[in-house]
Amino acid sequence: MRRARSARRTGVVAVVSAVVLLGGCGIRETDVIEAGGPATVQTFVDHDYDMLLFFHSSDGGITPVIRSVNGGVEYGPEGGPIAGFDPVTVDTVPVPTEKVILALLHGPDEQDRAAGLGTSLPPAPSGRTVRVEAAAAGDGVEADVPVAVEGLDRTALRQLICTIAYSHDADGRATVGLTGADGASASGTCGLDPTVRR
């Protein structure tokens, strides 16, 4: 009896250890394994002549698109120059942030929409001016935007902040302070750059 039981136990141990040792033959599935950093692709963005506008994609994140300045005049709702856009400054380098904000508020164009991008910002009411000035201290930037800041959702705020930050500074690290048409204010940094530790 005892011998039989111990023999059975030995057999079980042998089988289990064989299974453990072999660890399954062939190629088995794995979990998702991180392997190195992302790829950096070429995008031909020229900070002097191109604008980076941030729209939100279908998955909820915000994605930059490149808009050339010389094409900017065509983006009026009725085909005309949009409000606050001064054709005199077309050749100003880099592109003034005021112009970039207005382009953002104007919303995505056909190509952007084709790629599934959209905006959370309300359209800009005409006649309102945009004023941007560098903050008194540090590398911040203050902007008066022609929309009500109160009532903007997180995505909309991030769109504004990132657009202004990357217009103000090619690396997009400025702290942006927003004052809306309703007098409400908000501030923040873009924080989309994965190479910067937040």
Partner 1 sequence: MTSGPGRPRRLRLRLPRGSSRADGRPRSRAFGLRTRLVFAFLLVAAVSAGATSALTYRDARNALLKTAQDTAVSSFRDQVQQTGWGLPIQREGMEEVLRDIARKGKPRPWVVFAEYGSVRASSGENPVSTVITPELRRAAHAHPNGSFERVVRDGVPYLTIAMPTLFRTGPEGRLPSGLVLYAVMRMTDEQLNVDALLLAARDGALPGLAVALIPGLLAARSVLRPVRELRKAAQSMGSGRLDTRIAVRGSDELADLARTFNETAGKLEGSVRELREAEARARRFASDVSHELRTPLAGMLAVTEVLDEDAGRLDSDTARAVRLVSTETGKLAVLVEDLMEISRFDARAAELNSDEVDLAETIGKTLQHRHWTDGRVRTELPSGIRARLDPRRFDIVIANLVGNALRHGDAPVTVSLRSETRSSGPPVLIVQVTDSGPGIRPEVLPHIFDRFYKADAARTRSAGSGLGLAITQENVRLHGGTVRAGNLPAGGAVFTVEIPLHVEEADG
Binding footprint of partner 1 on the chain (CB under 8 A):
14, 17-18, 21-23, 25-45, 47, 52, 57-59, 61, 63-66, 111-112, 114-117, 166, 169-173, 192-195
> Whole-number minimum distance, CB 99 to partner 1, in Å?
18
CB of 136 to partner 1, least distance (A): 23
CB of 39 to partner 1, least distance (A): 4
State the nearest-atom distance from the C-beta of 55 to partner 1, in Å. Answer: 8
Contacts of 43 (CB under 8 A, 6+ apart): 66
What Rg, from alpha-carbon coordinates, does the chain have? 27
Q: Closer to partner 1 at the Cβ: 65 or 90?
A: 65
φ, ψ for residue 91, nearest 5 deg:
-90, 5
- What is the C-alpha separation between 172 and 194, in angstroms, rounded? 12
When the beta carbons of 84 and 172 are compared against partner 1, the nearer one is 172
Closer residue to partner 1 (CB): 2 or 42: 42
Residue with smaller CB distance to partner 1, 117 or 149? 117
- Judged by beta carbon, residue 15 or residue 184, the one nearer partner 1 is 15
Least distance to partner 1, CB of residue 169, Å: 7
Cα 60 from chain centroid (whole Å):
10
Question: How many residues appear in the chain?
Answer: 198
**Separation between Cα atoms, residue 157 and residue 168, nearest integer Å:** 16
Beta strand spans in 113-193 (E):
131-134, 141-144, 176-179, 185-188
CA distance 29 to 161: 42
